[in-house]
Structure 1
Amino acid sequence: MATVSLDRVRKLYPNGHVAVDEASFDIADGELLVLVGPSGCGKTTLLRMIAGLESISSGTVSIDTRVVNEVAPKDRDIAMVFQNYALYPHMTVAENLGFGLRLRGKARAEIDRRVSEVARLLELESRLDARPAALSGGQRQRVALGRALVREPKVFLLDEPLSNLDARLRASMRVEIARLHRQLGATMIYVTHDQVEAMTLGQRIVVLDGGHIQQIDTPMNLYQRPANLFVAGFVGSPAMNFLRGQLRRDTQWQLDMAGALLPLGELPAQASALQAWLGREVTLGVRPEHLQPVAAGNAALAATLEVIEPVGSDVFLNLRHGEHMLVARVPPGELPTRGSVLPLGFAAAHLHFFDAADGKRIA
Structure 2
Amino acid sequence: MADLQLEEVRKVYDNGQVAVHGASFGIADGELMVLVGPSGCGKSTLLRMIAGLEEITSGTLRIGGRVVNDVAPRDRDIAMVFQSYALYPHMTVAGNLAFGLNLRGLPRADVDRRVAEAAQMLGLDGMLGKRPRELSGGQRQRVALGRALVREPSVFLLDEPLSNLDAKLRHSTRTEIARLHQRLGATMVYVTHDQVEAMTLGQRIVVLDGGHVQQIDTPMALYERPANLFVAGFLGSPAMNVLRGELHAADGLRLALATADGLPAASLPLPGVQVPAAWLGRPVALGVRPEHLRPAAGEGLGARVDVVEAVGSEAYLHLDGAGRALVSRLPPQALPAQGAHVELRADPAHLHFFDPQDGTRLHA
What TM-score does the superposition give when structure 1 sets the normalisation length? 0.96
The aligned counterpart of 1:188 is 188
The aligned counterpart of 2:288 is 286
1:345 shift after superposition: 1.2
Matches of 2:215 and 2:251 in 1, distance apart? 36
1:321 shift after superposition: 1.1
Matches of 2:176 and 2:95 in 1, distance apart? 22
Matches of 1:186 and 1:143 in 2, distance apart? 18
Q: For residues 116-265 of structure 1, what are the structure 2 equivalents within 5 Å?
A: 116-257=116-257, 258=259, 259-265=265-271
Stretch deviating more after TM superposition (303-312 or 218-227): 303-312
Matches of 2:136 and 2:78 in 1, distance apart? 27
Equivalent AA in structure 1 for residue 179 of structure 2: R
1:320 shift after superposition: 0.7
Runs (4+) off by over 4 Å = none
Matches of 2:272 and 2:316 in 1, distance apart? 28
Equivalent AA in structure 2 for residue 290 of structure 1: H
Stretch deviating more after TM superposition (221-230 or 305-314): 305-314
1:163 shift after superposition: 0.5
RMSD: 1.1
Q: Secondary structure at the match of 1:350?
A: coil
Q: Deviations over 1:256-275 (max 9, x none)?
A: 2245332212324xx2xx33
1:35 shift after superposition: 0.2
Q: Is the 8 A contact 2:266 2:322 kept in 1?
A: no
The aligned counterpart of 1:36 is 36
Q: Secondary structure at the match of 2:270?
A: strand
Matches of 2:318 and 2:117 in 1, distance apart? 50
Q: Deviations over 1:115-148 (max 9, x none)?
A: 0001010010000000000011111000000000
Q: Deviations over 1:161-189 (max 9, x none)?
A: 00000000000011100000000000000
2:279 to 270, 277, 280: 277
Q: Deviations over 1:54-75 (max 9, x none)?
A: 0111111110111111110000
Equivalent AA in structure 2 for residue 52 of structure 1: G
Q: For residues 59-70 of structure 1, what are the structure 2 equivalents within 5 Å?
A: 59-70=59-70
The aligned counterpart of 1:9 is 9
1:250 shift after superposition: 2.6
1:78 shift after superposition: 0.2
Matches of 2:310 and 2:161 in 1, distance apart? 29
Matches of 1:20 and 1:249 in 2, distance apart? 43
Equivalent AA in structure 1 for residue 201 of structure 2: L
Q: Deviations over 1:167-215 (max 9, x none)?
A: 0000001110000000000000000000000000000000000000010
Q: For residues 107-122 of structure 1, what are the structure 2 equivalents within 5 Å?
A: 107-122=107-122
Gaps of 5+ in 2: 260-264
Does residue 22 (structure 1) correspond to residue 28 (structure 2)? The answer is no
The aligned counterpart of 1:332 is 332
Equivalent AA in structure 2 for residue 233 of structure 1: G
Q: Secondary structure at the match of 1:89?
A: coil
Aligned length: 357
What TM-score does the superposition give when structure 2 sets the normalisation length? 0.96
Matches of 2:255 and 2:39 in 1, distance apart? 34
Equivalent AA in structure 2 for residue 210 of structure 1: G
Matches of 1:312 and 1:266 in 2, distance apart? 33
1:251 shift after superposition: 4.4
Stretch deviating more after TM superposition (180-189 or 256-265): 256-265
Q: Deviations over 1:224-247 (max 9, x none)?
A: 000000000000000000100012
Matches of 1:290 and 1:266 in 2, distance apart? 15
1:266 to 264, 272, 276: 272
Matches of 1:232 and 1:275 in 2, distance apart? 24
Matches of 1:300 and 1:106 in 2, distance apart? 70
The aligned counterpart of 2:341 is 341
Does residue 83 (structure 1) correspond to residue 86 (structure 2)? The answer is no
Q: Secondary structure at the match of 1:348?
A: coil
The aligned counterpart of 2:323 is 323
